Structure 1
Amino acid sequence: MASVDECRQALHDLAARMERNAETVRDKIDLDRTLACRITDLDAAFHGRITGGRLVDLADGDDPKAKIVLSSSSDDLLALVRGELDVTKAVAARRVSIKANPFDLMKLRKLL
């Protein structure tokens, strides 16, 4: 089981990677939504905002009003961020849950 600090770092690594790709993504994806990431085995959560192809304003704690909610175990979150776990297969196997409206899910697929 990964630690809360490892999960936090993984999300910051993801934000940095998205920042590097934001220029190419921004023109293709119009998405501005709040995001909550719930770590099921640690009883921890993080929240932020996806906007302009970037993941910004990352902070500890849940956002119960988030428009996009990703739930996973700590190890699965790390594997997703590292590219070791395919998000589509993880959702199909119920290792990861993503709650969002269908239009946002289609846009998210382009980001992932």
Structure 2
Amino acid sequence: MATIEECRAALDRLSENMGGAEGDVRAAAALDRSVSCRITDLDVTFVGRMSGGRIHVQDTVQGPPPQKAQIRLAMTGDDLVALVDGELPFARAWGSGRVTLHAGVRDLLLLRKLL
């Protein structure tokens, strides 16, 4: 089972990857939205903001997020690490219910370029 530190490191790697993106992916990464990533097996949520092509984690809270973010992800820590490391395709994880993603329709259309 991935630790909180490993999950935070995975989010940092994801942010770095987004920051180096180009073309359509860079445009999708440039959204300015509140984000939360709930790690279900650890019962923690990373909350922050996606802006400037990066994810800025502002806090880690126990349990569900205190406020509803515009983009919300939920998954196990192992799945987060596997997604970021390229070992788990997002479409397969989302289709099987291992990852949940909630966002507005317009955001979902843009985010699909990232995933």
Return the TM-score normalized by structure 2: 0.85
Q: Tell me the alpha carbon deviations over residues 20-58 of structure 1, each in whole angstroms, 9 at most, x when there is no partner.
A: 22x5444x3352111000000000110121123222244
Q: Distance in 2 between matches of 1:10 and 1:107?
A: 22
Aligned equivalent of 2:11: 11
What are the equivalent positions in structure 2 for 1:22-37 lying under 5 Å apart? 24=23, 25-26=25-26, 28-29=27-28, 31-37=31-37
Other-structure match for 1:47: 47
Bigger share in helix: 1
| Mapped contact 2:75–2:100 kept (Cα < 8 A) | yes
1:33 counterpart letter in structure 2: R
Q: RMSD value over aligned CA atoms?
A: 1.7
The corresponding residue for 2:59 is 59
Q: What's the offset of the Cα at 1:99?
A: 0.7
The answer to whether the 8 Å contact 2:46/2:57 transfers is no
Residues 15 and 55 of structure 1 are in contact (CA less than 8 Å); yes or no, is this contact kept in structure 2?
Answer: yes
Mind listing any 5+ residue stretches in structure 1 that lack a counterpart? none
Looking at structure 2, the residues matched to 10 and 46 of structure 1 have their Cα atoms a distance apart, in angstroms, of: 12
d(CA) in 1 for partners of 2:45 and 2:79?
A: 14
Q: Name the count of aligned residue pairs.
A: 110
1:103 and 2:110 aligned: no
Amino acid at match of 1:95: R
Which residues of structure 2 form unaligned runs of 5+? none
Tell me what 1:84 maps to: 87
TM-score between the two structures when normalised by the length of structure 1: 0.87
> Residue 112 of structure 2: SS of its match in structure 1?
helix
1:64 deviates by: 2.1
Counterpart residue identity of residue 103, structure 1: R
**1:79 & 1:60 partners in 2: Cα distance?**
20
SS at match of 1:111: coil
User: What's the offset of the Cα at 1:63?
Assistant: 4.8
